[in-house]
């Protein structure tokens, strides 16, 4: 009995500890950031921004953060005599996936590893294995549900060290979740020679972000919103004459099958208006569809709440191969979940 009580107490402690961490993460404030770093000092409190005043803070750039599930932003300006300031922006997002999405918009920069960040991203194999990237004074970090930007107005060896120290403080003792599960759909290679460009993979929920990764239309023709999640990435084949051929792959998961069907209807009507004869709910659901358009072959397939689309395929055969491979992966993942 005593043993059982002890065990129950242990589990209770673990649960409380985790829930406290979640709560602390949600309320994270100056507590996590040092008052001073090198010659720089921050004010006692942060400037707090939410969805009601984000446009006032950053003009039209606010659209980006609202395109993910944005909760709030905390801003700290570190200042020092005779030095340009360092700006710390902590974007609190609803989930780790949202914060990952913001980092995924640009995988460029020098990868940074912080000693304190627990290495628990064993399953991260699709996107580049970096959660912090530095370049010319700007450090971008994905740390659990936080996306952080730490930027020195002027990069010097000293400001670089200060920026990295702040990065270290931001990630300290925070969870280090895996990349979004939706990325598992993307194989590293398709066929014998189409290779994923992992450094161009992007995770998003909005057509505005899709358009910044791969332009389809200035309108929301795939009905993307905060309830959807999507991944876009190109695959490349390098031919004998060093020519790079590229296929763009897009995968969208909707809240349910009905929404996916509606979105595909909308996409087809607006993007492929001349292909009316191929259009019909039954045929779309039953088998993949392929169309020859201006920039190559386009293929799509509806699979429950998901739509897989390929663009710019050199021929119908490659479009079919991509769709088949993705369908295979989907079924495999579903089977694994069912086990």
Complex with another protein: residue 39 or 87, whichever CB lies closer: 87
208 half-sphere exposure, CB direction, 13 A CA radius: 12
In whole angstroms, the minimum distance from the beta carbon of 183 to another protein comes to 21
Complex with another protein: residue 109 or 304, whichever CB lies closer: 109
In whole angstroms, the minimum distance from the beta carbon of 337 to another protein comes to 34
> If you write DSSP's letter for every residue of 226-259 in order, what string do you get?
TT-EEEEEEEEEE-TTSPEEEEEEEEEE-SSHHH
Q: Which stretch binds another protein (CB under 8 A): 4-12, 149-157, 252-260, 313-321?
A: 149-157
In whole angstroms, the minimum distance from the beta carbon of 218 to another protein comes to 3
276 binds another protein (CB under 8 A): no
252: Cβ contacts below 8 Å, ≥ 6 apart: 222, 224, 228, 229, 230, 260, 263, 306, 307, 309
Complex with another protein: residue 8 or 293, whichever CB lies closer: 293
Angstrom distances, CA of residue 326 to CA of 181, 304, 308, 336:
14, 13, 7, 15
314 binds another protein (CB under 8 A): no
Q: What does the alpha-carbon distance between residue 259 and residue 253 come to, in Å, rounded to a whole number? A: 9
Q: Which two tokens stand for residue 154?
A: 């002027």
Which residue in the set 273, 336, 337, 339 belongs to the binding site for another protein (CB under 8 A)?
Answer: 273
How many residues sit close enough to another protein to count as binding (CB under 8 A)? Answer: 36
> If you write DSSP's letter for every residue of 88-151 in order, what string do you get?
EEEEEESSHHHHHHHHHT---SEE---TTS----TT--SS-S-SEEEETTEEEEEETTEEEEEE
137 binds another protein (CB under 8 A): yes
Which residue in the set 52, 215, 240, 242 belongs to the binding site for another protein (CB under 8 A)?
Answer: 215
Which residue in the set 295, 317, 328, 331 belongs to the binding site for another protein (CB under 8 A)?
Answer: 295
225 binds another protein (CB under 8 A): no
60 binds another protein (CB under 8 A): yes
Residues in contact with another protein, shown as a per-residue x/- string from 23 to 52 under the rule CB under 8 A: ------------------------------
Whether 183 contacts 196, CB under 8 Å: no
| Binding interface with another protein (CB under 8 A) | 58-61, 63-64, 106, 108-109, 135-138, 149, 151, 154-155, 208, 211-219, 221, 244, 270-271, 273-274, 293-295
């Amino acid at each position: 009995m005593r043993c059982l009580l002890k065990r129950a107490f242990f589990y209770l402690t673990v649960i409380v500890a985790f829930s406290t961490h979640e709560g602390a993460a949600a309320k994270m404030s100056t507590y996590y950031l040092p008052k001073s770093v090198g010659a720089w000092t921050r004010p006692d409190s942060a400037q707090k921004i939410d969805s009601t005043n984000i446009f006032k803070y950053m003009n039209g750039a606010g659209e980006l953060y609202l395109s993910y599930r944005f909760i709030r932003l905390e801003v700290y300006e570190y200042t020092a005599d005779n030095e340009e300031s360092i700006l710390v922006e902590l974007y609190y997002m609803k989930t780790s996936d949202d914060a990952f999405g913001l980092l995924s918009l640009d995988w460029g920069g020098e990868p940074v590893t912080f000693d304190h960040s627990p290495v628990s991203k064993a399953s991260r194999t699709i996107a580049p294995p970096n959660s912090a990237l530095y370049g010319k004074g700007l450090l971008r970090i994905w740390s659990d549900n936080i996306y952080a930007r730490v930027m020195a107005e002027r990069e010097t060896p000293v400001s670089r060290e200060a920026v990295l120290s702040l990065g270290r403080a931001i990630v300290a003792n925070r969870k280090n979740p895996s990349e979004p599960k939706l990325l598992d759909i993307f194989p590293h290679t398709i066929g014998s020679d189409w290779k994923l460009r992992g450094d161009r993979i992007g995770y998003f929920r909005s057509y505005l972000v899709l358009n910044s990764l791969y332009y389809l239309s200035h309108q929301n023709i795939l009905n993307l919103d905060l309830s959807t999640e999507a991944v876009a990435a190109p695959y490349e084949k390098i031919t004998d004459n060093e020519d790079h051929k590229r296929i763009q792959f897009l995968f969208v998961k909707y809240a349910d099958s009905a929404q996916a069907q509606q979105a595909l209807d909308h996409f087809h009507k607006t993007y492929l208006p001349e292909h009316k004869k191929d259009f019909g709910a039954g045929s779309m659901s039953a088998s993949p569809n392929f169309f020859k358009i201006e920039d190559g072959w386009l293929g799509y397939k509806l699979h429950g709440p998901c739509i897989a689309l390929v663009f710019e395929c050199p021929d119908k055969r490659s479009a079919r191969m991509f769709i088949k491979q993705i369908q295979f992966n989907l079924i495999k993942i579903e089977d694994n979940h069912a086990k």
